[in-house]
Each structure stands twice: as structure tokens, then as C-alpha cells.
Amino acid sequence: MRSKANALKEKGVKVINFAAGELSFDACPDMQAGAIDAVRHARNRYTPPIGLPALRERIAHAVSQRCGVAYTAAEVAVTAGAKQALYNAALVLLNPGDEVVVVRPYWETLPTQIRLAGAIPVFVDTQAQSYRLTCEAVEKALTPRTTMIVINTPNNPTGTLYEREQLLGIAQLAFDRQLWVVFDECYRQLVRQPHEHHNIVSLFPALKNQTVLVDSFSKSQAVTGWRVGYACAPAHVIAAMHNLQGHTTSNPSSLSQYAALNALNALNADASPFNRDVNAFLDRQLIAACTCLGFIDGITCAPPEGAFYLYIDVSRKLGRRYLGTPIRDVDHLAELLLSEAHIAVVPGSACGDPTSIRISYAVEREELIEGLTRFEQFMAELVAD
């Protein structure tokens, strides 16, 4: 959808891009300053494959403070974005034929990486539970071949935060069955008021030695293109990631690492002025987006508690006609929204869900209002058979 939207833009068409998973902000000033300083001091050489020792030390310190559980630099790997951290975890922990519990709707990369490792994703659907993951649903999905549970909260694509009690139950279940937990919390700093993000190791410290925490600077610091994330895991897992990464990408960008180090050194209690400004902006954006969507009958949204997405159930609109053309499925709806209304959305089919679309409300305010107005007008033109 992003490629198609860009192709239309090149033809002079004004496209509102709700498909991009990134903030409209410029990069965090602390990240900018760190990168500029690195350029000025010619810090453009190789670093160790899994990151600068100083950065790994600083991440370990920050995660230890945040979680209340001690981490060392030997338990940290710096990666080219969270995506590489997740892929490293899949490659070093999974064997062919292993089963991995994955929440649906999902970020499409998660099951793909599991399959690349030769393992099998087993999906737990959350739509009937208002897009919330429950311990009971996870337990039903377990088999003797299950070796891992992957959890992403705040969730992409739904924007939903998973509840403390359910995470505690899943942690106990994983601990008792000796299952790995990959805990992707890349949107943890982007939470809507008054909701709260919960880290599974902080809730259940005994699970630390079975958990891979995955985080990123990309979303919260508005540097998606800089490619810098990290994994925290037992030292032997990090050592295996070191071996793997040393023969794939080697180190993440040195400039991005120095930028991340500067941002961490500037942090005060894990909340920078930049993050506060971003979340205040997103709170206002969400109110505006929900107001606009409130004028459209026949759609519902997942609870938008974190990240910057609205996940919209459009199942009641599928099968209707637009200018005489029946809408076959969500992919067709997304194509029509782009070609006719000139707005780009992510179809839920990419997330294992044929009933919904995802939009980002992290765009500029004028684009948000204009794009959702176009969406409302398009929906108003749909007619039932």
C-alpha cells in the first residue's frame, strides 16, 4: 500500500498515508545530537556485532531500573531495529517443527520469521475478547510441541494493551511449562492516558531466564529509518545472537548507536520531554480521530490504548457496492480507498484478519481530518444489495 501510495503521489495525486507505522515528528533532538556528534568525531568504524559496550551497559541499566530486575551488558544485544532482534530470537531458539503461539491479529513479520526458522505459528484469535489476550486462550493453544509464546503489547495492529492479570497468568503458565516468551514492547512509551503498559518480567521476575525482551528506539524516538533496537535475554542466548549477527548484518549503524546512547544518557526516569510531547499530541489525535469515525455507522474499533493505530472492523461494509462495484474483501476495500478516496490503509488480511483495516493517527492534524473525512464520504457511498 505504501508503494502504491507513493506511485500516486509521483503522479501529483494528494494521498493521505494512514498505512505508515511511524510518527510524523522529526527525530528526537537527543538522538539528532548524538548522531551529529558521532559524525563530527568520525565515529564511523565497525563496532562489535551486537553493539557498543557503553550502549549495552546503558541499556542494561535502563532496563534494570524500569523492570526492577537486574540485567547486565552480557544480556543485551543491539540490533538493526526490533525486527532483527525478533528474527535473531527465532533463529537461535526455534527448531524445525516447534510450535509458537502468536496472537491474532498480528504484525505480519512475526509468523513469517517463525516460518523462516522452520517452526510453526499457532494462532490465538483475540477479536471475540475485544482484542485482548487471555491466559485461557493461550493455554488452549499449547501442545507438547509448543516451545514459545510471542506477545506484542501495546499491540500492532490493534493498539490494545494487554491486562496485568492476564500477563501474570501467561507468565506463570510459561514458567511452569518451561516455554520461551518473546515480549515485544516496541510501543511501550506510546501509551494513551490513563492506560498503563506492563512488562512481563517486571510482573513475574522468575520468568527472566525464559524471556527475550525486545524494544526499539524507532517508534518512540521517531527514527524508524535509523534502524536501532535491542534484545534483552539470558547471556547464552545473547551469545548465540552475537554469533548469528556477526555472520549476517554485523553491527547496527554506528551513528544510530551513538545517537541511542546519547538519548539514554539524557533520559530522566524513562520519560523525555520529547516523549511527553509525542504522547500529548497522540492523545489529541486520538480524540479527533474517534470524533470523525463516530459519524460512520456500521464500524467498530479495537480499544485504542497504546501505539498510534486505530484497528477498524469493517465486516458490515464488505459485500456492499461502491458505484455499482461490489466490495469483495478488505484487500479490495483498501484498493478502492486508495484509488478512489486517495487514502492508504493497511488491510487486515496482512494481519491474519479478513474483517478489518488499520489506520495510523500519527499523521499531521490536517491530514488526519482530511483523510478521515474522505473515509467517511467513501463509506457513505456504499450501498447494500
Q: What is the DSSP string of 220-278?
A: TTT-GGG--EEEE--HHHHHHHHHHHHTTT-SPPHHHHHHHHHHHHH-STT--HHHHHH
> Are 250 and 56 a contacting pair, CB within 8 Å?
no
Residue 16, pLDDT > 70, answer: yes
Give the pLDDT band of residue 9 (cuts 50, 70, 90). confident
* Assigned superfamily of 2-21+273-380: Aspartate Aminotransferase, domain 1 (3.90.1150.10)
What integer best gives the mean pLDDT of the chain?
94
Residue 267, pLDDT > 80, answer: no
Q: Name the nearest CA neighbour of 371 among 363, 382, 13.
A: 363
Tens of pLDDT, residues 319-370:
999 998 999 999 999 999 999 999 999 999 999 999 999 999 999 999 999 9
CA distances from 261 to 30, 228, 278, 348 (A): 9, 11, 20, 36
Residue 92, pLDDT > 80, answer: yes
Query: CA-to-CA distance for 367 and 384, rounded, in angstroms?
Result: 29
Query: CA-to-CA distance for 194 and 124, rounded, in angstroms?
Result: 27
Query: CA-to-CA distance for 188 and 221, rounded, in angstroms?
Result: 12
> Domain limits of the chain?
2-21+273-380, 29-266
Residue 142, pLDDT > 90, answer: yes
Tens of pLDDT, residues 189-240:
999 989 999 999 999 999 999 999 999 999 999 899 999 999 999 999 999 9
Scanning the structure block, which residue is given the C-alpha cell 486517495? Answer: 342
Question: Bridge-partner residues for 183, per DSSP?
Answer: 151, 213
Tens of pLDDT, residues 21-38:
888 888 999 999 999 999
Query: CA-to-CA distance for 22 and 232, rounded, in angstroms?
Result: 23
Choices 3.40.640.10, 3.40.50.300, 3.30.70.260, 3.40.190.10: CATH for 29-266: 3.40.640.10
Label residue 332 exposed, middle or buried (CB < 10 Å: 0-12, 13-18, 19+).
Answer: middle
